[in-house]
Structure 1
Amino acid sequence: MRIVVVGANGTTGQEVVTQALAAGHEVVGAVRRPEALSHIKGVKVAKIDLSDAGTLSTAMQGADVVISTLGHGGIGAAMKFTTLYSDSTRTIRTAMRAAGVKRIVVLSSGGTVDNDMAPGFYTRLLRRLLINTYTDMARMETILEESPDLEWTSVRLTYLRKGPTQPFLAQEGKLDRGNFQIHFVDAARFIVDELTAREWINAHPVLGYDKGAKAFSNSTTSTLA
């Protein structure tokens, strides 16, 4: 496939690019700063402006799927009011229609919906701190849900960390168990696998590990999806 990864310079975006290339796909990294991907061999780079659908449409020519891995890149920024996700999704949708692309996968979060099964640190602390980002991610999802001409998948990540690959849960809408954490490598693995599996069209898969998963190392770093 020919894949366009918008925001490919982030941690998750780079992992998606690397795994997609390894799977034999042709990958275009659509970024504002092309030099950010200079260390990844084999990726084609397109300079874009998220406020200009024309630059995105040019990058999407001949693409089979668009993957948006856009994010703020830190908890501090994610606590502030934002329209990054909704605004960029509208622009991406306009560009996709102009380029004739139907399939899109976006990064969202399990925090977009209430979940009584989530651990206390997630519901009482993190979700409250990051509610501005989660609210805009929910707006992003509504934009996709109201786009019947698109085949979309909104991947709702949980607490996003560095670490090795391991078996994980994927459930529609919200998790009913688990530790509500996922590693970058497995988030990317799910996305790349879904490109050919097509098991989550017009769906909101939530990713996380079961409570019996291997314990995390204290040396790992973390962020919130």
Structure 2
Amino acid sequence: MRVFLAGATGAVGRLLVPELVAAGHDVTGLIRRPEAAEGLRSKGAESVLADIYDAAAIAEAVAAAEPDVVMHQLTDLANQNYSANMEIRRTGTRNLVDAAAAAGVRKVIAQSIAWAYAPDDEGGDEPATEQDPLDLGADGARRHTVAAVAALEDIVAEAPEWVVLRYGLFYGPGTWYAKGALMDDAVRAGKLAPTADVTSFLHIADAATAAVQALEWPTGPVNVVDDEPVAGSVWVPAFARSVGAPEPAAVDSERTPWARGADNHYARKHLKWVPRYPSWRSGFVA
């Protein structure tokens, strides 16, 4: 297939490009810095320089690439700028999907998140499935995050065929959860509390592999998370050990209702996705 990849130089994209090429796909990666072109070329991919917020330039870039699939792996979190990330979910996604439609591209695949689900209606603690609603009734900052996620997913669903990859919390090389990265600093500073909130993790390498396989997946959202949702009281001390930081003291807390993790049964059993790191336990050590 011919794949137009937005986010080709990001945490997922850096691993995804060589996997796509190795699988026999022709890749055109969207870049925003000219110096990134050589890196993509060395991995066997072409590149196109354009600003995701320039709708006309994106339309021209997608049309010139003549892709079979447009893949959206863009984020904007380098400076912990959550507003910028919400804007890329709204406007960046709008521009990509419009460009795909204008070029006659049938399939769009996009990165989303697996922690935007609403609490269980019955107050339970079961991990969320793809059938559960997003938390559109959330309060405060979470309300804005979930609204942007919902906007992204609604826009992507305009395509004739689409897959939304609801990724777990990334860890591993190039992410915030790695030795020497943001959360290493946070746990050393005592700013990463081991609470009762439950998280579903995903190694960054497994995110890339899922994206390649999604080229063949049917339309719909997919939870792409590891097998073991885990409370912060368990994973935070384990993460601290994995980066060589002191373990934080335990805290007494109740689980936030929406923080219940996500279930990967659909991806595992029906789509035959098999994560390289089925648990954060082995992944943190690796």
Is the shorter-chain TM-score for this pair beyond 0.5, marking a shared fold? Answer: yes
Distance (Å, rounded) in 2 between the aligned partners of 1:206 and 1:45: 29
Question: Whose radius of gyration is greater, 1 or 2?
Answer: 2
Match of 1:159 in 2: 169
The equivalent position to 1:51 in structure 2, one of 45, 50, 53, is 53
Give how far 1:107 is off.
Answer: 0.3
Distance (Å, rounded) in 2 between the aligned partners of 1:87 and 1:27: 23
Mapped pair 1:209 → 2:226: yes
1:214-225 correspondence runs (5 A): 215-216=281-282
Give how far 1:129 is off.
Answer: 6.5
Match of 1:139 in 2: 151
Distance (Å, rounded) in 2 between the aligned partners of 1:128 and 1:219: 35
Q: Is the 8 A contact 1:29 1:43 kept in 2?
A: yes
Q: How many residue pairs get matched?
A: 195
Greater relative contact order (Cα 8 A, min sep 6): structure 1 or 2?
1
Match of 1:29 in 2: 29
The equivalent position to 1:183 in structure 2, one of 203, 212, 223, is 203
Distance (Å, rounded) in 1 between the aligned partners of 2:79 and 2:166: 17
Distance (Å, rounded) in 2 between the aligned partners of 1:67 and 1:46: 14
Distance 1:80 1:35, change over 3 A: closer
TM-score scaled by length of structure 2: 0.60
1:79-94 correspondence runs (5 A): 82-94=86-98
Distance (Å, rounded) in 2 between the aligned partners of 1:108 and 1:6: 14
The one-letter code matched in structure 2 to 1:35 is E
Distance 1:131 1:186, change over 3 A: farther
Match of 2:12 in 1: 12
Deviations 1:169-213 (A, max 9, x none): xxxxxxxxx961111111110110121x22x31x11011111373
Q: Which runs of 5+ in 2 are unaligned?
A: 120-124, 129-134, 174-197, 229-277
The one-letter code matched in structure 2 to 1:46 is V
What is the percentage of aligned positions where both structures have the same residue? 26
Give how far 1:96 is off.
Answer: 1.1
**RMSD in angstroms over aligned alpha carbons?**
2.9
Q: Which runs of 5+ in 1 are unaligned?
A: 164-177, 221-225
Q: Is the 8 A contact 2:202 2:280 kept in 1?
A: no
